[in-house]
Copies of this chain bind each other. A is one copy, B any other.
Amino acid sequence: MTAGKPLRADAQRKREALLATAREVFETGDFFDLRFDDFARLAGVGTGTLYRHFPTREALAEAVYRGEVATLCDRARHLQATLPAAEALATFLRDVVDHTAAHKGLARTLATLMADRSGALAEGSRALEQAVTDLVATAVRDGTVRDDVDAGAVMMALHGIGAAHDRPAWRAEADGVITLVLAGLRRPRSDG
């Protein structure tokens, strides 16, 4: 599906250049101050070429986002294979926050673009969602996590962390959300 047609050599190169430049500009936060045409020039590419590879700003973002998500998914798989379920889940959620904090600009830009009604990025995060779902399911199965709350709720909380990028106390609050989610996920005692 992803590889319908084997790209020609130069096309591949331009595409890479666009992605590399995108990552840079996303990170510095200048993406929205830049005319899309100028972005093309910045990447050393003609306008037409830019538009053929990535018809919209969102399409470009999606490609970058996919890379980020892939990294996180690898991490999830690794944790799942080496730690007890509950611990794997906890570590992963904290790692997501770490990762986001380490690439704040990128996360900002992606979150902003993601909000555009296109929903283009929803597609890209499917893999991430699957990873979280697996981690939660495993922890539920071994009894460390309650089974009456969907993994989607955890995704939603993560979404909040990403979307609320402009809060002054972002880091502390993000940690707080994770703490709440993890505490909330613990199998509740039989008392009300």
Contacts and interface: CB of A to CB of B under 8 A. Distances in A.
Q: How many copies does the complex hold?
A: 2
A156 B184 contact: no
Interface string A92-110: 0000000000000000100
Interface string A31-59: 01000000000000000000000000000
Contact of A173 (B156, B169, B180): B156
Nearest to A29: B117
A174 B175 CA distance: 20
A116 B182 CA distance: 30
A67 interface: no
B157 A180 contact: yes
Contact of A163 (B159, B176, B180): B159
A143 interface: no
Interface residues of A, number: 45
A164 interface: yes
Contact of A172 (B108, B119, B152, B157): B152
Q: Interface SS of chain A: helix, strand, loop or mixed?
A: helix
Contact of A160 (B158, B172, B182, B189): B158
Nearest to A158: B160
Contact of A180 (B119, B149, B175): B149
A108 B155 CA distance: 18
A157 B155 contact: no
A122 interface: yes
Contacts of A116: 112, 115
24 contacts: A114-B115, A115-B115, A115-B116, A150-B169, A150-B172, A152-B169, A152-B176, A153-B173, A153-B176, A153-B179, A153-B180, A154-B180, A156-B161, A156-B174, A156-B176, A156-B177, A157-B160, A159-B160, A160-B163, A180-B180, A180-B184, A181-B181, A182-B184, A184-B185
